[in-house]
Amino acid sequence: MIILGIETSCDETACAILEEKNGSFSVLANIVSSQIALHSAWGGVVPNLAAREHLKNILPVINEALKKAKLSSNEIDLITVTNGPGLIPALLIGVETAKTLSYLWQKPLIGIHHIEGHIYANFIPLERNKVGVNLKSQISNLKQIQNSKSEKEKGEEIKFPILCLVVSGGHTQLIFMKKHLHYEIIGETLDDAVGEAFDKTARILGLGYPGGPVISTKATEWTSNVHFGHSMSKITLPRPMISSKDFNFSFSGLKTAVLYLVKKNEKLLSDKNFVSAVCHEFQSAVCDVLISKTMRAAKKYNPKTIMLAGGVSANTQLRQQLGASVKDELPHASYIIPDISYSVDNAVMIAVAGFFRYKSEKNKKGLRDNWKKLATSANLKLN
């Protein structure tokens, strides 16, 4: 079956076309039009500007996806779209476009929770399988790979129950899945999401938006023997809630600790050794807390698979440190992470999640009428 996915919940206008054959997926098109350059001038995403850009880009992006996949509208079997949570002005552009196409093309329509999409990014075949190891270095824009087949369907390897650590710009959650499409949230952030903490910390350090990638790069520039200031060469930040017995998180205090540190040492902001030391310690504090809680939850819930999902799952230290902990402490569990190009927002993940929703839907015919009733919600719940 051929699935067309649409994602516009934040600052990426994305459309993907996915082919499913006997449970195996091929990505036929993956188009992402990013608005980062526009929003970085404002230090974060401005909802109405995002909506204006989505409106401008949505039809060209869909058109480009069909062209890349070499398909016409009548070859599409299912339309899936993110209908929450996210920025309402942004979400509405994707949802209204999907409803219009469903009505015009007479195709079934399914709304997908954005975080469900991130979780199902783990079921997308690996890029290295799709493009071949030798070709990978020649592909400069991983966001536009087309017509590539997986040698082995990644979904086959994934065993339930799954424990998934969701880390994005809007969410930080530990989710236990006994089976497909069943979610038990066993812990979540009590204040800032972890991606939000990266973004706010980068702003405090004058590093721009989005904060995750830049903090991660600066952190790699740190070495233990660098010195800065007269008396200060070691920075220690707190690991909030690392010892609490529950599986919840808190990141706003960590960001505030960086704010106080910078206020006390304002002159050092121009010293690149100071900035890289703060980035390194901040990232380590985040990883220590996330991993300690995930491992503790894993020991309680005994999952067969531990997964990472959401934009922050692109973070190299998090990917490596969690992988090492799973290997050391839970050698019988599998560790699955999304391909880097599918960690941040994209529409392939929405199409994959849509496929699993479609498979489990009892009233498939009713999906043809979904264009009349699909609702958009900024605070959509995962269930």
**Can you give the binding site for ligand KG4, defined by CB under 6 A?**
10, 114, 168-170, 195, 198-199, 210-213, 216, 310-312, 314-315, 344-345
**153 is a contact residue toward Zn ion (CB under 5 A):** no
Q: Which of ligand KG4, Zn ion, none lies near 210, with the C-beta cut-off 5 to 8 A by kind?
A: ligand KG4
Q: How far is the CB of 194 from ligand KG4 (least distance, A)?
A: 8
> What is the distance between the alpha carbons of residues 262 and 335, in angstroms, rounded to a whole number?
37
Q: How far is the CB of 314 from ligand KG4 (least distance, A)?
A: 4
Q: By C-beta, is 125 or 310 nearer to ligand KG4? A: 310
Q: By C-beta, is 167 or 306 nearer to ligand KG4? A: 167
**168 is a contact residue toward Zn ion (CB under 5 A):** yes
Q: By C-beta, is 168 or 325 nearer to Zn ion? A: 168
Q: How far is the CB of 41 from ligand KG4 (least distance, A)?
A: 16
Question: 318 CB contacts (<8 Å, ≥6 apart)?
Answer: 167, 286, 287, 290, 291, 308, 312
- Give residues 217-256 in contact with Zn ion (rule: CB under 5 A): none
Q: How far is the CB of 170 from ligand KG4 (least distance, A)?
A: 4
Q: By C-beta, is 251 or 274 nearer to Zn ion? A: 251
Q: Which of ligand KG4, Zn ion, none lies near 240, with the C-beta cut-off 5 to 8 A by kind?
A: none
Q: By C-beta, is 107 or 118 nearer to ligand KG4? A: 118
Strand partners, 18: 3, 27
Q: How far is the CB of 149 from Zn ion (least distance, A)?
A: 26
**Among 127, 192, 281, 345, which residue interacts with Zn ion (rule: CB under 5 A)?**
345
Q: By C-beta, is 13 or 102 nearer to ligand KG4? A: 13
Q: By C-beta, is 153 or 199 nearer to ligand KG4? A: 199
Of the ranges 47-55, 166-174, 191-199, 333-341, which one interacts with Zn ion (CB under 5 A)?
166-174
Count other Cβ atoms within 10 Å, centred on residue 64.
16
Burial class (CB in 10 A: 0-12, 13-18, 19+), 55: middle
Q: By C-beta, is 214 or 232 nearer to ligand KG4? A: 214
> What is the distance between the alpha carbons of residues 373 and 370, in angstroms, rounded to a whole number?
5
Q: Count of residues binding Zn ion (CB under 5 A)?
A: 2
Q: Starting from the edge strand earliest in sequence, which strands make up the sheet with 24-34, in order?
A: 24-34, 12-21, 2-7, 78-84, 109-113
Q: Which of ligand KG4, Zn ion, none lies near 5, with the C-beta cut-off 5 to 8 A by kind?
A: none
CA 212, 218, 223, 228 dihedral sign is: negative
Question: 173 CB contacts (<8 Å, ≥6 apart)?
Answer: 115, 165, 166, 185, 187, 188, 189
Strand partners, 249: 189
Residue carrying the six token digits 């270095």: 137
**341 is a contact residue toward Zn ion (CB under 5 A):** no
Cα angle 53-203-258, degrees, rounded to a multiple of 5: 150
Task: Please state whether beta strands 172-177 and 184-188 pair in parallel, antiparallel, or not at all (unpaired).
Answer: antiparallel
User: 98 with 58: CB under 8 angstroms?
Assistant: no
Helices (H) then strands (E): counts for the chain: 13, 10
Q: Nearest CA to 211 among 238, 249, 247, 251?
A: 251
Q: Which of ligand KG4, Zn ion, none lies near 28, with the C-beta cut-off 5 to 8 A by kind?
A: none
Q: Which of ligand KG4, Zn ion, none lies near 20, with the C-beta cut-off 5 to 8 A by kind?
A: none
Of the ranges 76-84, 167-175, 227-235, 331-339, which one interacts with Zn ion (CB under 5 A)?
167-175
Q: Interface with Zn ion by CB under 5 A: which residues?
A: 168, 345
